[in-house]
Structure 1
Amino acid sequence: MKTKLTILILAISTMLVAQKKKNGAIYIKHPANQVVLDFLAAFSQNDSVAVANLIADDYKGYDGLNMNPDKEASTKSDILNAMKNWNNLVSHLNIEHTSSGYPDAIEYNDTEFSGGTWVYAWEKYTGMHTKTGVKLNMPAHFQYVVNDENKIVFSRSYMNKNPFTAIYRNSNKVVGGTVYSHHENINKVRKMMHSYQFNDMVGAYEYYNEDTNFKWGSMDWDADPVDLEAAKASDKEFMSNFTINSMNNSWIEYQEMELGGNFVESFWRVNVTRKTDNKNIVFGLYMTHQFNDENEITKVRNLFNAAAL
């Protein structure tokens, strides 16, 4: 039985090898690659003369994500107009290949694909939309065909379109929620913050959820938030080193967001005395307190100049 099984495996392996058929060659260096690189550089520099010289008159371009079967191909004129629009609408436009996505040139043996050299490129479009300030960082995959005259005759693109959606939304006024200057949750935050001045730590934690997490501006960007017990320990250490003379609010509002994540945003003038040398210190404190549907605080974020202390 073991012998029969071994023979069967060898037979299948032989069949798989026999099914291989070479259909061309892949080149990491090829004149067609340079044509594509020159095209990208000219496009991002708004060089219409260079782009026109690199695009064949009978060029056809397709959006690989377009589902309309009747969509007509883009023309050479469309490419030139697209270049102008990109450069007019996007500041600091740059198009380059991703670090691991250098272009490959393929010469096919198949007659259906042998009319030119195919170049498969993985690109990244970066810049900033001039009107809205939306930052672009758009990965894209392009397939090009370069003819014997070193001109691009065909392209098919697959591009992340999400930034275009962001640009559209930010080009119009969109209501994302309601801002309150007076609200029950504002009162809660105000009471909690003033409790610190009067050393009332029960009042300072009155409206926190047991799963509330905290993060401070002095923490590393990717640091995990801390829980309520860790926050209490931090407050205790602060109170042992400083006396809070006043905690005056200069600005506070409650934002009720349509997508959730309602929060109180506030800015405070904090006056403290450092106990080691009795030095008086005044610093600004920016805070956000996020509330859940039960109006309990679930997230706290703050920002202040730790060096001032």
Structure 2
Amino acid sequence: MKYILHIVSFLFVFSLQAQKNKNGTIYDEHPGIDLIASFHEAYASGDIEMASSILHDDVKWYDGNSQTKNDEGGSKNRVINNIKWFRDYFDYVSFKDTEGAYPDMLEYKQSGNWVQSWFRVYGVHKETGVELDHNVLRVYRLNDDVSKITAIIEYSNKLNFSMIGDARSDRENGTIYVSHENINTVRKAMYAFLNGDADKAYSFFHENSRFHDINEEDVMTFDEIKARDNKIFANWTMTYLDESGYPDYLEYDWRDSNSVQSWWDMGMRRNSDGKEVVLKVLFIDWFGDDGKIVRRFLYWNASLLK
């Protein structure tokens, strides 16, 4: 039995080794990589002549995200038109290697020369101001002497391009209220703070609410904001609270979101010496379905309380 097990083990190891088959070589430095770098430079600068000289006349461009079966790909003219589009409609265009990544040149025995390039596309649309800033993976097939690009397969996020289309025309995105129950909730919470009724003030917030304070590095939990506020009010007393202008409640159609934006003048007196300061504060409060505040953004100058 032991002899049989040895034979089986040997055959298993041999079968694993037999499955390996080297199909080429990978390079991180290669004339093919230099060719793609030159192509990206031409793409970013809008150098049509240079780009055209690098592209094979029969080049094909495929969208790696396409769900079209048997996609025949775009022609050289389509690639050139895309370069012209970047040149004519975008400022500050760049095609730079993604941080921490680098292109690979793959010389396959069976399928020829390929370059895999991870890079970041950047540009600002001239008409709408929409910023492109996203990573792209392109796989380039090169001819035998790596002097021409014969195919391009691109995998990219098209969300920014949709934003450009949306931004070309005026669109409504919900309703702004000057009076609303959620505005009332913010007022009730703030004036409860003014009158020293912290328990009532916090009752208008969800127990899992989160707080984004411009003066803090990390997002704070409900318990953390209460602890932070306790430290402030141990040394300072709120003497008055006035609305600055008027609050707005924004009920957005997009993403079914909402917020109350409120501006306040907050009078504060230091308990130790009576020093008085006025804090200019902006709160942006998001509400849940139960009418409680689930997220608050705080914009104010904490250095005034030092």
TM range (shorter): 0.7 to 0.9
Structure 1 position 202, deviation (Å): 4.5
Which of the residues 206, 211, 216 maps onto 1:214? 211
1:160 to 157, 161, 183: 157
Could you tell me which residue of structure 2 aligns to residue 19 of structure 1?
Answer: 19
Alignment of 1:126-205 (within 5 A): 126-147=122-143, 148=145, 150-205=147-202
Distance 2:206 2:152 in 1: 55
CA-based RMSD: 2.4
Quick check: 1:302 aligned with 2:298? yes
1:124 corresponds to which letter in structure 2?
R
Deviation at 1:9, TM superposition (A): 2.1
Instruction: State how far apart, in whole Å, the 1-side matches of 2:176 and 2:58 are.
Output: 56
Give distance in 1, aligned partners of 2:208 and 2:106: 56
Paired residues for 1:1-309 under 5 Å: 1-69=1-69, 71-110=71-110, 113-114=111-112, 117-147=113-143, 148=145, 150-220=147-217, 223-227=218-222, 229-250=223-244, 251-258=246-253, 259-309=255-305
Aligned-partner Cα distance in 2 for 1:43–1:52: 10
1:234 aligned partner, one-letter code: R
Residues of 2 paired with 1:9 and 1:137: CA distance? 53
Retained in 1: the 8 A contact 2:210–2:219?
Answer: no
Q: CA deviation at 1:153?
A: 2.1
Identity across the alignment (%) = 30
The answer to whether the 8 A contact 1:56-1:151 is kept is: yes
Deviations 1:170-215 (A, max 9, x none): 3344443322110122122112212333334344334233333434
Other structure's SS at 1:123 match: strand
Q: Which moved more, 1:257-266 or 1:175-184?
A: 257-266
Q: What is the distance in 1 between the residues matched to 2:104 and 2:233?
A: 63
Matched to 2:214, the amino acid is G
Segments of structure 2 that go 5 or more residues without pairing to the other structure are none
- Quote the offset at 1:72 in angstroms: 4.2
CA separation in 2, counterparts of 1:206 and 1:153?
A: 65
d(CA) in 2 for partners of 1:172 and 1:186?
31
Q: Secondary structure of the equivalent of 1:204?
A: helix
The code of the aligned residue for 1:239 comes to F
The structural deviation recorded for 1:71 is 4.6
Question: 1:29 Cα shift?
Answer: 2.1
Cα distance in 2 for partners of 1:14, 1:108 equals: 25
1:298 & 1:103 partners in 2: Cα distance? Answer: 44
Aligned pair count reads 302
Q: Deviations over 1:237-281 (max 9, x none)?
A: 323322323211123011223434433211111222223332221
SS in 2 for 1:167: helix
Larger deviation: 272-281 or 298-307? 272-281
Distance change in 2, residues 1:2/1:129 (3 Å): farther
Unpaired runs of at least 5, structure 1: none
